[in-house]
């Protein structure tokens, strides 16, 4: 099934639910950045989280940035997701591989590290961006993002994200976000019900791998609570706004001496985009034009 995002409500609008499938875009990120298994699982979970968080921003150009800096070997995990369904991201050390954890799963918590910080910036496209920081809970991403939503955005939330990756690549990836909205936030019972139901699930990817669709998954969780699924389905994809012109702009900032040096030593320059792994080749004539512009 193509990557997609759907929204729903339940309990007379007291519950907001979002589901996302990111199998293809996580596979795309794996290929682009040459990610290890555990790096694929980490970035896939973080990209699903970014899309889920961006899904409640109505402005067309709204974006959310997630930076996860733990004390594990993976280094920085960065995701940039938009309300338009685009997402991009990278991990600092994409080749890091770790043995499975005690549950026999990819050790995302060990790779990210259990100590450190999660930073989130919400930018609606104008005005001052909103930002928040929380300490990592487990480095497993889902719990860390949920902790951010509860403490920094004061919205009781349950978040479930997962990635299944093997020798044939990513075969399942996605997640669910369930939130109790302010009108029902005092309803402790509702929060308990959601936590209990999400807690009973053994993960998100087993549902996908069993052939369940997003509406079926939401039905299973919230069907008896007045679930209303919105008819609009949003396509989501890996996308980076980088271009050769932007790379040239960045090279220009290096200044004349450095550019001249690149022309003499390398007959040009090779620059890769940190966010998507795209490699751009600038030839000497491009660099000479930049020098003339300076």
What residues make contact with Zn ion under the rule CB under 5 A? 240, 242, 273, 275-276, 278
Nearer to Zn ion, 46 or 193 (CB): 46
Burial 227-263 (b: 16+ CB within 10 A, else e): bebeeeebebbbbbebeeeebbeebbeeeeeebeebb
Nearer to Zn ion, 174 or 277 (CB): 277
Q: In what side-by-side order are the strands of the sheet with 4-10? A: 157-166, 169-180, 15-21, 4-10, 228-235
From the CB of 199, what's the least distance to Zn ion, in Å? Answer: 38
Nearer to Zn ion, 230 or 244 (CB): 244
Q: What tokens does 67 get?
A: 């930076």
Nearer to Zn ion, 226 or 249 (CB): 249
From the CB of 259, what's the least distance to Zn ion, in Å? Answer: 22
From the CB of 77, what's the least distance to Zn ion, in Å? Answer: 17
From the CB of 275, what's the least distance to Zn ion, in Å? Answer: 4
From the CB of 267, what's the least distance to Zn ion, in Å? Answer: 24
Nearer to Zn ion, 56 or 65 (CB): 65
Nearer to Zn ion, 27 or 80 (CB): 80
Residue listed under structure tokens 């920081």 = 133
From the CB of 240, what's the least distance to Zn ion, in Å? Answer: 3
Per the CB < 8 A criterion, the answer to whether 15 and 227 are in contact is no
Residue 128 has φ and ψ, to the nearest 5°, of: -85, 130
Residue listed under structure tokens 């280094």 = 75
Nearest of 179, 164, 163 to residue 53 by alpha carbon: 179
How long, in residues, is the chain? Answer: 294
From the CB of 72, what's the least distance to Zn ion, in Å? Answer: 25
Nearer to Zn ion, 17 or 273 (CB): 273
């Amino acid at each position: 099934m193509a990557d997609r995002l759907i929204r729903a409500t339940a309990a007379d609008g007291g519950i907001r639910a979002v589901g996302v499938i990111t199998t293809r875009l996580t596979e795309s990120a794996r290929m682009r950045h040459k990610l290890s298994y555990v790096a694929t699982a980490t970035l896939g979970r973080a990209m699903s989280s970014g899309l889920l968080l961006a899904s409640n921003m109505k402005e067309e150009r709204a974006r959310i940035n997630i930076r996860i800096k733990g004390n594990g070997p993976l280094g920085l995990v960065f995701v940039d997701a938009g309300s338009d369904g685009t997402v991009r991201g990278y991990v600092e050390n994409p080749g890091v591989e770790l043995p499975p954890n005690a549950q026999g799963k990819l050790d995302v918590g060990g790779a990210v590290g259990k100590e450190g910080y999660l930073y989130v910036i919400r930018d609606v496209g104008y005005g001052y961006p909103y930002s928040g920081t929380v300490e990592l809970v487990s480095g497993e991403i889902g719990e860390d993002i949920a902790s951010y939503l509860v403490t920094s955005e004061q919205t009781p939330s349950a978040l479930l994200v997962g990635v299944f990756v093997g020798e044939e690549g990513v075969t399942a990836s996605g997640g669910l976000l369930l939130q109790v909205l302010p009108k029902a936030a005092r309803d402790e019972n509702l929060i308990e019900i959601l936590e209990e139901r999400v807690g009973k699930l053994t993960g998100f990817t087993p549902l996908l791998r069993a052939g369940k669709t997003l509406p079926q998954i939401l039905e299973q969780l919230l069907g008896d609570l007045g679930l209303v699924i919105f008819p609009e389905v949003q396509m989501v994809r890996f996308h980076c706004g980088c271009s050769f012109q932007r790379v040239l702009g960045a090279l220009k900032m290096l200044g004349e001496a450095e550019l001249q040096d690149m022309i003499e030593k390398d007959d040009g320059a090779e620059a890769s985009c940190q966010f998507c792994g795209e490699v751009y080749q600038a030839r000497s004539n491009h660099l000479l034009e930049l020098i003339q512009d300076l």
